[in-house]
Amino acid sequence: MSSRTSLSTRSINTRCALGLLLPLLGACTSVEPIRHDDRLQAWLEFTSIDTVAAQVADAAELFLDLRVAVIQGQHDAAFVRAACAAADEHDVALILWPLLDPSDGYWPNQGNAPAFAAWTLQLADAAPKDCPRLDGFVVDMEMPIDRAETLSGVGLSLTERITALVDGADPVAFEAARGAYTELVGELHARGLRVFVSSLPMLIDDELDGDEGIAHALWTPVQDIPWDRASFQVYRTLFAEYATSLLGTDDTFGPGLVTSYAEHIEAFWGDAASIDLGTTGAGVVEHGGMEAPAELQEDIAAALAAGIPLHAINVYSLEGLLEHDDPAAWVRTPSPAEGAEEQPVESIRNIIQGLDELL
């Protein structure tokens, strides 16, 4: 079975074995993970032990499941217990989203695989006691945050960006990291936990020519690891910024962007295909968000039309949704509808694929 489309089929018996630490829970069915197939998932990044219970309750009101950030040095076991207890109370499926201290890169990637694996396994070790109904973990595979901020700086020319990307590639370190993430996924699967990956959309352009030039440049080993699902961050708001830096234009993007990428995600990843949409507000790297619910509704409709199921569509972010007057209007389930072809989409994807030839 292809590593791209294999799904975890571990039975609940694995969970039960780990649940020996919890004999007072009674029957093993009490530790079955919460899962839904009729809900969007939302990312929750800016949270604390004081706010997480209310945020989970808000997600439940919006009929959303959650991917909750757990940042090393910022969130502890008490935070995880609070998030998990709230998810259990409100019937919200929960995926933990481990992140490192910004000084260690924040997002997992080629450069910090051992540190990220250690943090994730620490959380997994505590899960039978602290979060017995946990669905799994998501690996948000991106460049180290300092490298991302440097390469996106307005003072760099396109030539300087390409040179930095080429000079930063290290095939030996890349393969070592792929091995480390493969081992981590195996460890988590053995515990009955699902493992998801989310990464940058350029990796889909990378796959069109069958190499990993872009992945090497971005330090993101995603291929050939048995993820349960692989999602790619097709954020129309960020593509407007990419157009400025790569094309020198002020183009905006609509649902045609999602249709273009989602069809390739579905083709390459099959049953494991997933997509991230947004953004509804700023992330850890400052940028603008969508302005109206119709934008997100169009993108959800385009993803559905490409064959990506509702529960494999992830919205960034819950916090952004809650900033708006009517959050529910953003996350209703629309009828599937392809986005129309857009010239800016063709232009930006041609540029990315052209850069791939140089990497």
pTM of the shown model: 0.91
β partners of residue 140: 198
Residue 17 lies in a domain: yes
* Domain span holding position 117: 12-358
Q: Helix, strand, or coil here: 123? A: helix
Placement of tokens 């971005």 in the chain: 218
Rounded average pLDDT over 338-345: 96
Q: How high is the pLDDT of residue 27?
A: 38
pLDDT, tens only, 51-91: 999 999 999 999 999 999 999 999 999 999 999 999 999 99
pLDDT, tens only, 151-192: 877 678 878 888 888 899 999 999 999 999 999 999 999 999
Residue 22 lies in a domain: yes
Residue 6 lies in a domain: no
**CA-closest candidate to residue 359, choices 172, 202, 201:** 202
pLDDT, tens only, 267-324: 999 999 999 999 998 676 656 799 999 999 999 999 999 999 999 999 999 999 999 9
Average pLDDT, the chain: 90
- pLDDT at residue 14 is higher than 70: no
Q: How high is the pLDDT of residue 1?
A: 36
Residue 4 lies in a domain: no
Question: What is the percentage of the chain residues whose pLDDT exceeds 70?
Answer: 90
Residue 3 lies in a domain: no
Helix (H) / strand (E) element for 119: namely helix 113-130
Alpha helix positions (H), 201-342: 202-207, 213-218, 236-247, 255-269, 293-305, 318-322, 327-330
Report the domain count for the chain: 1
Q: Calculate Rg over the CA atoms of the chain.
A: 20
* DSSP code per residue over 151-171: HT-TT--HHHHHHHHHHH--H
* DSSP code per residue over 320-352: HHHTSS-HHHHS--PPP-PPPP-HHHHHHHHHH
Structure tokens at 236: 């129309």
Q: Helix, strand, or coil here: 185? A: helix
Q: How high is the pLDDT of residue 179?
A: 98
Q: Angle at CA 67, nearest 5°, toward 258 and 94?
A: 130
Q: How high is the pLDDT of residue 286?
A: 58
Rounded average pLDDT over 18-41: 67
Q: How far apart are CA 197 and CA 190, in angstroms?
A: 17
CATH code (residue 177)? 3.20.20.70
Residue 7 lies in a domain: no
Residue 312 lies in a domain: yes
**CA-closest candidate to residue 98, choices 7, 222, 196:** 196
Q: How high is the pLDDT of residue 287?
A: 67
pLDDT, tens only, 216-260: 999 999 999 999 999 999 999 999 988 887 888 899 999 999 999
Q: Characterise 278 by phi-psi region: left (phi > 0), alpha (psi -120 to 50), beta (else).
A: left
Rounded average pLDDT over 127-153: 92
| pLDDT range class, residue 12, cuts 50, 70, 90 | very low
Residue 315 lies in a domain: yes
